[in-house]
Amino acid sequence: MNSRLLTSLAKLSFFLLVIPPMLLSCSSTDQSKQTVKPKEDPPALINFVASEYSSQTRPLLENLVQDFMLKNPDIVINLQVANWDILDIIYTTMISKNQPPDLLNTNVYTHFANDGLLNDMDDIISPELKNKFYPDLLKLDSWNGKQYAIPYVSSTRKLYYNKELFREAGIASSPKTWSELKVDAGKIKKTGKARGFGVDLTDNEIQAYLSYFFLGAGGGWIKDGKWTINSPENVEGLTFLRDMYVEGLTDSDPTVTTRDEKQRVLGDGKLGMMISGNYFNLVVPREFPDLEYDKGPIPVKDGVKPINFGVQDTLVSFKTDHTNKQALSKFLDYLYSSPIYEEIIQQEGFLPVTQLTGERLGSANMDMKADLAALRSASYYPIQQPEWQAVMDTARKMGDAVLHDHVSPQQALDQLQKFAEEEQQEIKSHHRQ
């Protein structure tokens, strides 16, 4: 082999040895540029189903959620705001499809907990947030030693009345007893301008009016863990309510028009009085700014001690295939922070469930301060009974039957008592198994 060929082969060998690594180096650089970007984790997802309390609810929550997501781009909140009329249908449909909400605003929880559907909120909320709540309200949301719910908003119930109608009917003050309620409703009816007493026996509030007149007679739903629905006191309370309707002393359609609709009728001067919550003070004057109104205690049977009745709505978290407890904790810290939570309370007209907010707002509002004090000794729905949802659903079906003499108050409450006991026994048997 001649020297020229050897020289050429040597050059080629050098080229093959040197150039490919250079090319490889360039290629590696390009690949590194393509793969250097780390893979991003998908954002945490929170499906939040909230109840609609007023015309302010949706825009208030939408703005709140949007602001939170701007500050926390790694969390996505799908907000759905639903009227109470369809709220149950929405979340039960979601549960039936095995797609429950991560966060639900509701007024019941133990039947979900009994079915093993809920997260323990102690595994989600921060210690700082837990310390904010009124202890008595937090205790209502604890079942079988676990914190399955947390308070969201609360209210006390009172008798609200149209002062102008009262003056025209010659009524000096709010009735405090059943006998006074009946007399005053009759006086309003005689004016020919309005109905006397608004009663809501619709799906929305029948459990509330039953509670007012059960407790007002000295009875109640449950005692020492046993249902007392058909007690003599409760039968007397429902009988009084039925008699008021039969005598034409209530509004004409207790099982048709809801509480919110009756509030408008009162604001329009066609209804003398009705039982409602703190939100009346804010919601009704918005629509009827010229309304003169006042409030008094819920009337009770003559000789029975006055009652305080409180209601609290809650937040629960369902177990899902994407539950992110850290994201939920962050959102709840934000939701209950100042001034976010204060705005919710002020816009919706509720009582706060956190102590600092209660102290701050109560110091500037004597009515709120008094209502918060009353809430500490109030009676509530038996929400810690897993069968309460089923009992409430069954009670919703009895309004028409009682008012229109299809069944007597005694028969209706006997049936409801039997149902409650059977549901309670079934749940206990299921646990033993």
DSSP string of 230-278, one letter each residue: T-HHHHHHHHHHHHHHHTT-B-S-TTTS-HHHHHHHHHTTSEEEEEEET
**pLDDT tens track for 365-391:** 999 999 999 999 999 999 999 999 999
Q: Does domain 157-310+386-432 have CATH number 3.40.50.150?
A: no
* Confidence at residue 38, expressed as pLDDT on a 0 to 100 scale: 60
- The Cα 211–Cα 206 span in angstroms is 8
150-162 and 146-147 strand pairing: unpaired
Q: How far is CA 80 from the centre of its chain?
A: 14
Q: What is the mean pLDDT of the chain?
A: 91
Decide which of 391 and 30 is more confident: 391
Q: Kindly report, as residue ranges, where domains of CATH 3.40.190.10 are found in the chain.
A: 44-155+312-375, 157-310+386-432
Coil, strand or helix: which one is 164?
A: helix
The phi, psi pair for 277, rounded to 5°, reads: -105, 180
Looking at residue 42, what DSSP letter applies?
P
User: Left (φ > 0), alpha (ψ -120 to 50) or beta: where does 160 sit?
Assistant: beta
Task: Supply angle C-alpha 202, 207, 208, rounded to 5.
Answer: 95
The tally of CA atoms less than 13 A away on the side-chain side of residue 140 is 27
* pTM exceeding 0.75: yes
Q: What is the pLDDT of residues 90-125, one digit of tens each?
A: 999 999 999 999 999 999 999 999 999 999 999 999
User: CATH second-level architecture of 44-155+312-375?
Assistant: 3-Layer(aba) Sandwich (3.40)
Cα Rg of the chain, angstroms: 31
